[in-house]
Structure formats: structure tokens, C-alpha cells
Amino acid sequence: MPIHHALDFVQLAGYGPAEHESHDGIRFLKDVTMELEGRHVLLVDEVVDTGLTLNYLSKTLSLRHPASLYAVTLFDRPYRRLVDDLPVRYTGFTIPDAFFVGYGFDLDERWRNLPDLRQLREI
């Protein structure tokens, strides 16, 4: 980016009876370390699906009074939304309701290293 900027990271996790299927709650495993008040914040996420995680994160970070807060996602599935009014400002691609591997996405730590995105067929 040709503008002055800083990077920070968060790590979130769901918790509940079955973490990979539950949306009972979301918790921070790692919070941002920089002050957000008065700063323009851009959240970067690989996939926005139901919107539950992004909704939690954006509402939590909004309490820290950023000048603006928007999100960018590589892949979007707006038809799976459970939450309206998400701050998604930039989207790379809208993808179908299928499972994808490659280009960093994996299934059980497999196929992450594929150089392109591929739709996984049922096994």
C-alpha cells in the first residue's frame, strides 16, 4: 500500500459444544495491540460467510472509537448471511455454496498448497 499504514492481527475462536459447527459464542485468542481510536481500520478476512464472526469483531472494535471501520474479503457468500449490516466494503469474488481448497484453504490440513482455488467434490 503506498500510504502510511500499520498492521496488527486478531485471532478469534468459537466456543460451544462443537466449535466447528457452533456459533454459541466467539472469543478473542489474540487482540490487537495498537490503539484504534481515531484511526481508519480495515479488517481483512479470507471468507465472509454467515457474518457472525465479522459482526462480533466489528462491533467489538467499534467500541474503541476508530475514525472508520470497514472490511475486505477475498471470498464472499452473501446468500449465507445470518447477520445484516456488515461493514464489507470490498469483495474479491462471490463464490458458490461449496467447499474450496488450495491457495491457502485446506481440508484437514490437506490441499492448502495447491496454486489455485479448486472446488472440492464429495469424497
> Has 49 been annotated as catalytic?
yes
Question: Considering the domain 11-98 in this protein, what is its CATH number?
Answer: 3.40.50.2020
Q: pLDDT tens, 50-100?
A: 999 999 999 999 999 999 999 999 999 999 999 989 999 999 999 988 889
Query: What is the pLDDT, as a whole number, of residue 66?
Result: 98
Cβ–Cβ < 8 Å for 90, 73 = yes
Residue 103's pLDDT band (boundaries 50, 70, 90)? confident
The string of DSSP codes covering the chain is --S-------EEEE-SSSTTT--S-EEEEE---S--TT-EEEEEEEEESSSHHHHHHHHHHHTT--SEEEEEEEEE-GGG-SSS---EEEEEEE--SS-EEBTTB-BTTBSTT-SS-EEPPP-
Query: What is the pLDDT, as a whole number, of residue 62?
Result: 97
Give the residue-averaged pLDDT of 22-48. 89
Q: Indicate the pTM of the whole model.
A: 0.82
| pLDDT averaged over every residue in the chain | 89
Candidate list 49, 84, 97, 106, residue with the active-site label: 49
Query: What is the pLDDT, as a whole number, of residue 75?
Result: 93
